[in-house]
Amino acid sequence: MARNTHRIASRAAGISLAAMVLLLTACNVGPPYARPSAPVPPAYKEVGAPNIDGEWKPAQPSDTASRGKWWEAYKDPQLNALEDQVNISNQNIAAQAAAVLAARALVREARTQYMPTVTANPSITNSRISSAFGKTVGVNYSTFSLPIEASWEPDLWGRIRNTVRSNTYAAQAAVADLENVRLSAQSDLATDYYELRAQDALQQLLDATVKAYQEALDLNRDLLTSGLGADEAVAQAEAQLKATQAQDTNLAVLRTQYEHAIALLTGQPASTFTLSVGALKSDPPSIPLGVPAQLLERRPDSAAAERSVAQANAQIGLAKTAYYPAITLGATAGLESVSIANWLTWPSRIWSVGPTLAETLFDAGLRRATVQQFQATYDQTVANYRETVLTAFQQVEDNLAALRILRQVIEQQDSAIESAGRSLQEAEVRYKAGLDPYLNVIAAQTVLLSDQQTAVNFRMQRMVASVQLIKALGGAWDAAQIPSEKEMAAKVPTASGAKH
């Protein structure tokens, strides 16, 4: 008995030693990861453009830090309150936050493969031996079994490591996607807000214009009554007034739609949401740019694309592990007996231990095709990443150019309004003096109103361009906020506050 026990112990020690040797020689067959190169210009083209003061400024060292609530730079309390509501109640943000929790759970699921699996399978089985195959009488008996099984697959070729890395990179991309959704919702809200304020400004302008046209109509009626005017001038004044009133009323359609869009972004029913009338801010705040290389760290969509590249790289390694054998160490121990009285006794013990090895000998090129598939997927994610980077620089340059050009355009438009105002004054004087028909006055009024409406739209475009520039620069986000692999594997609270 002692000799058998020693033999069993020696075999177990040998198996353990072999497993340790395999673990020490384990390797990762996947390719090492390096961030793909991307075309990064040394400076923004608009930096050297004229007439840029007041629109933005080169960043100082402290400007590389998170800007926090970027919308507070606009100094609008109503906008601040709406933006805070977006972070709390926007359903797209809530959905992506849930996707992040699911991705983090997948990381923890993958990490469990590092540890052995232990199962218990107790059973009580009643059986009968057939007597049809011999002369013995059929026998009924019961088997009482209480086995505990353990199995463990050493990560010899990096299959588990690549799975964990792939899931971790996917979870990090989900975090960046969440911030991209958040930034998009915040910028969409600010854009809708300033477009709504432009409707308010146009409403104020047309209300004042309707009042002025009503006074002009009253004047023409008085002139007609006194015999100094013509019915043609009255009809022209009436037509102009009614057309302007229609324009004034029509503004409510677009304003209502912007109001409903803001309600959706803040997670509120459109039927119960109302935004009071306010003024359109005329000047955007100064926006720190930083250098182009920092844009890759500040844009959440760039970070998500880069993490997708890392995930695709890990999947190549995962596919390559299929070329290598899978080794599983298994052990079973427990109690088994045909008598319940002897079931839980020492003589009823059973055990087994040993490794198993599985290797695919022929798969008709399946593994090679799988590796080629993931290599092509990797190349695709690299191209997507570079396209995302190029798009980021395009968006920054677009909005820098828009801010620069719109500043000049607004100055020119204001000059046009001043000239149109003088022209209207001259036309009114000449009409009252009987030198020109009232049609000249109407033409001058139409030009002035058109110029004023255009100026409002230019100012709205300028505010929207500043919002879009902040979005193009990544808002208040930085890639350093992406959780590490260890943080990704940690338990996080659910929406109800429970751990999972």
d(CA 153, CA 156): 8
The answer, yes or no, to whether residue 256 has pLDDT greater than 50, is yes
3-state DSSP call for residue 452?
helix
CA trace torsion 208, 211, 215, 217 (10° rounding): 120
The β-bridge partners of 127 are 141
Contact assessment for residue 127 and residue 142, using Cβ atoms and an 8 Å cutoff: yes
The answer, yes or no, to whether residue 15 has pLDDT greater than 70, is no
Mean pLDDT, the chain, integer: 86
Q: Specify the pTM.
A: 0.84
- Looking at residue 136, its pLDDT comes to 58
Contact assessment for residue 417 and residue 456, using Cβ atoms and an 8 Å cutoff: no
Contact assessment for residue 421 and residue 441, using Cβ atoms and an 8 Å cutoff: no
Contact assessment for residue 87 and residue 93, using Cβ atoms and an 8 Å cutoff: yes
Distance of CA 223 to the CA centre of its chain: 65
H or E stretch at 469: helix 438-472
DSSP-derived letter for residue 476 is: T
Looking at domain 31-114+157-323+365-489, its CATH class is mainly alpha
Sole residue written with tokens 């879009």:
468
Per-residue pLDDT band for 48 (boundaries 50, 70, 90) equals low
DSSP-derived letter for residue 289 is: -
Exposed/middle/buried for 326, CB within 10 Å: 0-12, 13-18, 19+?
Answer: middle
Contact assessment for residue 302 and residue 336, using Cβ atoms and an 8 Å cutoff: no
117 residue type, one letter: T
Per-residue pLDDT band for 132 (boundaries 50, 70, 90) equals low
Contact assessment for residue 462 and residue 403, using Cβ atoms and an 8 Å cutoff: yes
Q: What is the DSSP string of 177-240?
A: HHHHHHHHHHHHHHHHHHHHHHHHHHHHHHHHHHHHHHHHHHHHHHHHHTTSS-HHHHHHHHHH
Tokens of 158: 């990096």
The β-bridge partners of 357 are 327
Higher-confidence position of 325 and 11: 325
Tokens of 48: 């050297």
DSSP-derived letter for residue 391 is: H
d(CA 304, CA 288): 23
What angle separates helix 159-225 from helix 77-89, to the nearest 10 degrees? 140
What is the Cβ-side half-sphere exposure of residue 156, based on CA atoms within 13 angstroms? 19
Distance of CA 186 to the CA centre of its chain: 11
* pLDDT, tens digit (0-9, with 9 covering 90-100), for 151-198: 999 988 889 999 999 999 999 999 999 999 999 999 999 999 999 999
Per-residue pLDDT band for 382 (boundaries 50, 70, 90) equals very high
* pLDDT, tens digit (0-9, with 9 covering 90-100), for 191-237: 999 999 999 999 999 999 999 999 888 888 888 888 877 888 899 88
Residue (of 30, 1, 5, 12) closest to 321 by Cα position: 30
The answer, yes or no, to whether residue 309 has pLDDT greater than 90, is yes
The number of beta carbons lying within 10 Å of the beta carbon of residue 323 is 13
Contacting residues for 363 by C-beta, under 8 A, at least 6 apart: none
d(CA 363, CA 370): 11
3-state DSSP call for residue 365?
coil
The number of beta carbons lying within 10 Å of the beta carbon of residue 488 is 25
Per-residue pLDDT band for 11 (boundaries 50, 70, 90) equals low
d(CA 125, CA 226): 117
- Looking at residue 49, its pLDDT comes to 59
Q: What is the DSSP string of 422-433?
A: HHHHHHHHHHHT
Contacting residues for 70 by C-beta, under 8 A, at least 6 apart: 186, 470, 475, 476
CA trace torsion 154, 159, 163, 164 (10° rounding): 40
What is the Cβ-side half-sphere exposure of residue 72, based on CA atoms within 13 angstroms? 5
Distance of CA 125 to the CA centre of its chain: 56
DSSP strand pairing (139-152 vs 117-120): antiparallel
Sole residue written with tokens 């290598």:
324
The answer, yes or no, to whether residue 310 has pLDDT greater than 80, is yes
* pLDDT, tens digit (0-9, with 9 covering 90-100), for 95-123: 999 999 999 999 999 999 999 999 999 98
- Looking at residue 490, its pLDDT comes to 84
50 residue type, one letter: P
Q: Where are the beta strands (DSSP E) in 14-138?
A: 56-57, 117-120, 123-129
